[in-house]
A and B are shown apart, each in its own frame.
Chain A
């Protein structure tokens, strides 16, 4: 009986020792795109943003979307990446792990902070603050290595 318990405990310990480094080192791939939405006489969408064009229908009043900046980063669990946004604001994204096929992030822009769980490889948007005659939209795409590849992954 005791022997069996030790065997099981040893197996569990072994799995933990072998498996934990792989889990701990699993990174998430984050892609941030800063998009400037404006209204102009000649509507346009930057070629880099063509994939997101369908979503732009949901930003009423704007007909021109241009890529102001973008960054790709790899984050380990608990790590935070930072990106400067126009107007002296900062965007911070913290990788908080994975759960049931979702990538968990803490997103901060200016005075707004929130937790977001996004489907692996999925994208979410933050829209809001005024910039240079338009509004700035932030597109955040996240994919975690531990959840595997995703069709739309960056």
Chain B
């Protein structure tokens, strides 16, 4: 039986987060303690399994098409504005545009954007990804994901068409997601958590939603 202290330190060592003294302590265990070695191997297997899964998912994503869309976003010189409704289509705060904006002008754009995209995209596999403390009853067979955002419950005032409306909470959580193909991802504007949740389902068409055709 391995102690809690050892477990924590082994995990930290595995992630490269230990101090030199702690590292020396862990290395001592690995030499002398079979249980510690077994735990360390188990951590390695977990990491390997995760890496394999990411590799598999990456093979299923048409990064060529995605990158084409990133490039077209980057090449846009002026953000589109709507003359009909003023100040409604100014600079976007979406996850997708942030990914694009973050890397524009950087030499490692494709790799960086892909890495971030991978983090943002929830692939259609059977593992559970829970980001909130959703109801246990909400679970359903198949892929599960949940996404939430903090938002003001008290409600503030915002101007809308000349009238003052009480701000509405659009906090939402998603779980029990089931789909056969394509890619699902959840977009929550972190700069404005009162913004509604957007669940994208991009079917196998080799394109990202950033293009209208």
Contact = CB atoms under 8 A, between A and B. Distances in A.
A56 B89 contact: yes
B89 A127 contact: no
Contacts, number: 182
Determine the main DSSP class of B at the interface with A.
Answer: loop
Interface string A19-48: 000000000000000000111001111000
Given A50-B85, A117-B134, A119-B169, A38 B198 contact: no
Contact of B80 (A45, A63, A106, A128): A63
Interface in A116-131: 116-119, 121-130
Given A118-B172, A119-B170, A128-B202, A58 B187 contact: yes
A114 interface: yes
Interface string B160-204: 110001111111111111111110100101000001111111110
Interface in B127-141: 134-135, 137-138, 140
B138 A128 contact: no
A115 interface: yes
A114 B147 CA distance: 12
A117 B89 contact: no
Interface string A89-127: 000000000010010101001111111111101111111
A58 B88 contact: no
Size band of the interface chain B makes with A: 35 or more
A57 B43 CA distance: 43
A2 interface: no
Contact of A115 (B89, B175, B180, B200): B175
Contact of A63 (B82, B135, B167, B203): B82
Contact of B171 (A59, A122, A135): A122
Nearest to A118: B172
Contact of A44 (B82, B168, B175, B195): B82
Q: What are the 8 closest A-B residue pairs judged by CB atoms, nearest first?
A: A152-B168, A39-B212, A53-B88, A43-B82, A58-B94, A115-B176, A122-B170, A128-B201
Given A122-B196, A123-B170, A135-B209, 20 more contacts: A38-B212, A43-B81, A45-B85, A51-B160, A53-B85, A56-B88, A56-B89, A57-B92, A60-B97, A113-B176, A113-B179, A115-B175, A116-B174, A117-B134, A121-B169, A122-B168, A128-B182, A128-B202, A130-B205, A152-B166
Interface of B: 73, 80-85, 88-94, 96-97, 100, 134-135, 137-138, 140, 142, 151, 155, 160-161, 165-182, 184, 187, 189, 195-203, 205, 209-213
